[in-house]
């Protein structure tokens, strides 16, 4: 297994375009993942996540653009790429008429590991994925979570340097999801590079070193989870008042804030620092407006996701070229 | 290892997978190999008395048994390749084919595994059918060489039909379609000399029957097993087999390289 020279890009995609018929699915997509890191590709259904995974894993050709996996060209050297990658797709890629151990054995044979090394690797993976007890059972008796674990174990038989995981926890129960996350973390700490697609913001936040947000075939934001969150102006302080009069006075004092008459609350944009908070409270104190209680909300990836994929978007988040759909409006002024 | 060694190794692994599938899916294997036996008994004991009456010199049920065995050996082929189509379509519509495609393995080994597995299944089916036929009184004057030649002709034709079934399985959009299209082979077989002599058929149909691939194969096998002259039939049978095999092989490889498993999104 590779050990971490971080900084070397293992997955590089430049200006990748793909159309199905007249439908443009990927529009000049750029992606980079350094060795030993996780790049999460975040986006709604139909954004093109699976398509980019299928292109990078040599399943379908791109219309244009250049792609390299571990310095091997996806277009001119697909077998070179196949030798170093592992792919776990959305649909389980297991053989239902074989047992768990036979499935792994099949992979070991196709990776030409040899009898002894193959058997050792199979036993190791059964143990690691907690499938030893079910090893001799047919796949038809496996639960969804076991099936997904076996699927990933099959991907790992050849000890790939680069792994593509297309929505690996989709449809898993919370416990299986945590197990999967743990496995992914272990892989990365061993130096493997992972491209993970997900619709789950929490998953991207938990696992990824960098996140690229894909929307309708374009990368609309890219950065570390912290960077993305800091760029979104979704942070606010929520002030609660004892009565409607106080709320009204406070709203007059703070014109940028959004009052909520039903809850007797006022939502004030704020970055959450101590100084800004003190300033805000001082201002209210001088105007003799008593605040019953307050809560601070820092932006999470939900805000980022909605901001960059929905219509409420700020200009600052947009990477690359400007776009009419992403014109500054809404969220920034709120 | 060399490229050739990898190709052989990958094909062997895929063959083993295919044979395991046959064992794990016994209902299909039993059905596909059992159908010809049921038909053999049906044709001999139900229809045989009457059909045998029309055979000329040596009349009767036992004469019809001797006549019809090559037809049922061909039923075995047509029946097994139906399973081939189903297995290929199951692979292509499932997720596993994408896994194979993203691995550095010999591309065609997935298909050669199916072809070799089906060929073994065919030979087993032929063996079982001949055993049952001998058991109920099938009589052959053929020596070992003729038997060997007859089985060789059947195996060659089987390879052609198997590649055709692989292509049909690849072309099918669903497993259901894949299980239906090879039925046409059974129909073709009934419109050949497999069960009745072609000269008993009406004009147009007779011509069709005489110029379609099942007839020369049935006639050649029948000739070899009854120690009669096979002549042009054998040449036609071999030509048909090679022709169908080449075309079906090229079609299958083309489909395999261009067709993708079901596109998500």
Residue A4, pLDDT score: 43
CATH of the domain at A287: 3.30.70.100
Please tell me whether residues A153 and A241 are part of one structural domain.
no
What phi and psi values does residue A86 have, to the nearest 5 degrees? -135, 140
Share of chain B above pLDDT 90, in %: 61
Residue A105, pLDDT score: 96
Q: Is the pLDDT of residue A322 over 70?
A: no
> Are the Cβ atoms of A89 and B17 closer than 8 angstroms?
no
Is residue A248 assigned to a domain?
yes
Is residue A314 assigned to a domain?
no
Residue A326, pLDDT score: 34
What lies within 8 Å, CB to CB, of B107 at 6+ separation is B256, B257
CATH of the domain at A93: 3.40.50.300
Is residue A315 assigned to a domain?
no
A136 interface with B at CB cutoff 8 Å? no
Residue A323, pLDDT score: 35
> Are the Cβ atoms of A111 and B103 closer than 8 angstroms?
yes
Residue B207, pLDDT score: 92
> Are the Cβ atoms of A154 and B99 closer than 8 angstroms?
yes
Is residue A75 assigned to a domain?
yes
The residues with which A223 forms a beta bridge, in sequence order, are A211
Please tell me whether residues A161 and A277 are part of one structural domain.
no
Q: What is the radius of gyration, based on Cα positions, of chain B?
A: 19
Instruction: Note which residues in 7-66 of chain A have CB less than 8 A from chain B.
Output: 45-46, 48, 50-51, 57-60
Residue A232, pLDDT score: 67
Express each pLDDT in B49-62 by its tens digit. 888 887 766 678 88
Chain B environment of A90 (Cβ under 8 Å): 264
Residue B257, pLDDT score: 82
Average pLDDT over residues A59-63: 92
Tell me which residue in A59, A106, A138 faces B102 most closely, judged by beta carbons: A59
Count of structural domains within chain B: 1
Please tell me whether residues A71 and A104 are part of one structural domain.
yes
Q: How close is the nearest chain B Cα to the Cα of A224, in Å?
A: 27
A111 interface with B at CB cutoff 8 Å? yes
Express each pLDDT in B169-215 by its tens digit. 999 988 888 888 888 898 999 999 999 888 889 989 999 999 999 99
B8 interface with A at CB cutoff 8 Å? no
Please tell me whether residues A212 and A123 are part of one structural domain.
yes
Express each pLDDT in A192-232 by its tens digit. 999 999 888 888 888 999 999 998 899 988 999 888 877 76
Is residue B217 assigned to a domain?
yes
Is residue A263 assigned to a domain?
yes
Q: Which of A22, A28, A17, A34 is nearest to A219 (CA)?
A: A28
Please tell me whether residues A30 and A128 are part of one structural domain.
yes
Q: In chain B, which residue's Cα lies nearest the Cα of A109?
A: B13
Residue A234 — very low, low, confident or very high, per pLDDT cuts 50/70/90? low
Please tell me whether residues A115 and A253 are part of one structural domain.
no
Is residue B263 assigned to a domain?
no
Please tell me whether residues A78 and A194 are part of one structural domain.
yes
Please tell me whether residues A269 and A185 are part of one structural domain.
no
If 0-12 CB within 10 Å is exposed, 13-18 middle and 19+ buried, where does residue A240 land? middle
Residue A156 — very low, low, confident or very high, per pLDDT cuts 50/70/90? very high
> Are the Cβ atoms of B98 and A87 closer than 8 angstroms?
yes
Asked if B85 and B167 count as a contact pair (C-beta separation under 8 A), the reply is: no
Pairs of residues, one from chain A and one from chain B, whose beta carbons lie less than 8 Å apart: 72
Which residue range is the domain that position A141 belongs to?
A: 9-224
Please tell me whether residues A291 and A157 are part of one structural domain.
no
Please tell me whether residues A219 and A258 are part of one structural domain.
no
Lowest mean pLDDT among A306-315, B3-12, B53-62: A306-315
Asked if B158 and B248 count as a contact pair (C-beta separation under 8 A), the reply is: no
Q: Is the pLDDT of residue A173 over 90?
A: no
Is residue B264 assigned to a domain?
no
Is residue B265 assigned to a domain?
no
Which residue range is the domain that position B136 belongs to?
A: 3-258
Is residue A109 assigned to a domain?
yes
Please tell me whether residues A200 and A287 are part of one structural domain.
no
Is residue A323 assigned to a domain?
no
Count of structural domains within chain A: 2
Is residue A313 assigned to a domain?
no
Is residue B144 assigned to a domain?
yes
Please tell me whether residues A178 and A41 are part of one structural domain.
yes
Tell me which residue in A82, A95, A155 faces B96 most closely, judged by beta carbons: A95
Q: What is the radius of gyration, based on Cα positions, of chain A?
A: 24
Q: In chain B, which residue's Cα lies nearest the Cα of A103?
A: B17
């Amino acid at each position: 297994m590779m050990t971490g020279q971080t900084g070397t890009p293992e997955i590089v995609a430049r200006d990748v375009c793909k159309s199905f018929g007249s439908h443009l699915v990927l529009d000049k997509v750029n992606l980079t993942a350094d060795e030993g890191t996780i790049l999460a590709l975040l986006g709604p259904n139909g954004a093109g996540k699976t398509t980019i995974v299928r292109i990078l894993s040599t399943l379908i050709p791109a219309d244009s653009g250049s792609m390299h996996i571990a310095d091997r060209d996806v277009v001119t050297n697909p077998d070179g790429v196949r030798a170093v990658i592992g792919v776990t797709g959305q649909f389980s890629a297991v053989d239902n008429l074989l047992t768990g151990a036979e499935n792994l054995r099949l992979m070991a044979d196709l990776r030409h590991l040899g009898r002894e090394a193959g058997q050792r690797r199979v036993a190791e993976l059964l143990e690691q994925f907690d499938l030893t007890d079910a090893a001799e059972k047919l796949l038809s008796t496996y639960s969804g979570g076991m099936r997904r674990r076996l699927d990933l174990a099959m991907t790992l038989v050849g000890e790939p340097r680069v792994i593509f995981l297309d929505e690996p926890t989709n449809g898993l129960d919370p416990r299986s999801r945590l197990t999967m996350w743990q496995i992914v973390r272990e892989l990365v700490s061993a130096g493997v590079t992972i491209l993970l697609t997900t619709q789950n913001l929490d998953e991207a936040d938990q696992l990824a070193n960098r996140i690229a947000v894909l929307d309708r075939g374009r990368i609309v934001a890219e950065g570390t989870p912290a960077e993305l969150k800091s760029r979104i102006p979704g942070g606010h302080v929520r002030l609660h008042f004892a009565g409607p009069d106080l709320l009204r006075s406070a709203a007059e004092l703070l014109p940028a804030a959004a009052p909520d008459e039903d809850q007797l609350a006022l939502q004030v944009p704020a970055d959450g620092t101590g100084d800004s908070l003190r300033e805000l409270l001082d201002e209210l104190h001088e105007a003799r407006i008593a605040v019953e209680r307050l809560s601070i909300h820092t932006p999470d990836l939900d805000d980022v996701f909605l901001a960059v994929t929905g219509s409420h978007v700020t200009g600052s988040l947009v990477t690359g070229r400007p776009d009419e759909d992403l014109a500054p409006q809404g969220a920034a002024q709120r | 290892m060399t490229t050739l060694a990898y190709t052989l190794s990958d094909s062997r692994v895929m063959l083993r997978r295919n044979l395991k599938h046959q064992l794990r899916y016994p209902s299909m294997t039993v059905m596909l190999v059992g159908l010809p036996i049921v038909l053999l008994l049906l044709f001999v004991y139900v229809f045989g008395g009457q059909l045998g009456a029309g055979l000329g010199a040596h009349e009767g049920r036992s004469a019809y048994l001797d006549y019809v065995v090559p037809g049922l050996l061909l039923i075995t082929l047509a029946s097994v390749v139906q399973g081939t189509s189903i297995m290929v379509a199951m692979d292509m519509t499932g997720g596993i084919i994408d896994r194979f495609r993203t691995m550095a393995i010999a591309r065609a080994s997935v298909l050669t595994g199916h072809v070799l597995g089906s060929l073994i299944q065919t030979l087993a089916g032929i063996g079982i059918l001949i055993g049952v036929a001998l058991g109920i009184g099938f009589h052959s004057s053929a020596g070992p060489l003729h038997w060997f030649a007859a089985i060789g002709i059947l195996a060659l034709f089987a390879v052609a039909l198997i590649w055709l079934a692989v292509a049909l399985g690849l072309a099918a959009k669903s497993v259901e379609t894949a299980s239906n299209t090879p039925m046409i082979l059974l129909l073709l077989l009934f419109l050949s000399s497999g069960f009745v002599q072609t000269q008993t058929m009406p004009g147009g149909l007779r011509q069709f029957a005489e110029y379609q691939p099942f007839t020369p194969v049935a006639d050649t096998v029948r000739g070899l097993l009854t120690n009669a002259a096979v002549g042009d039939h054998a040449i036609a049978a071999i030509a048909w087999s090679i022709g169908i095999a080449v075309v079906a092989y090229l079609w299958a490889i083309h489909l395999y390289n261009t067709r993708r498993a079901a596109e998500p999104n």
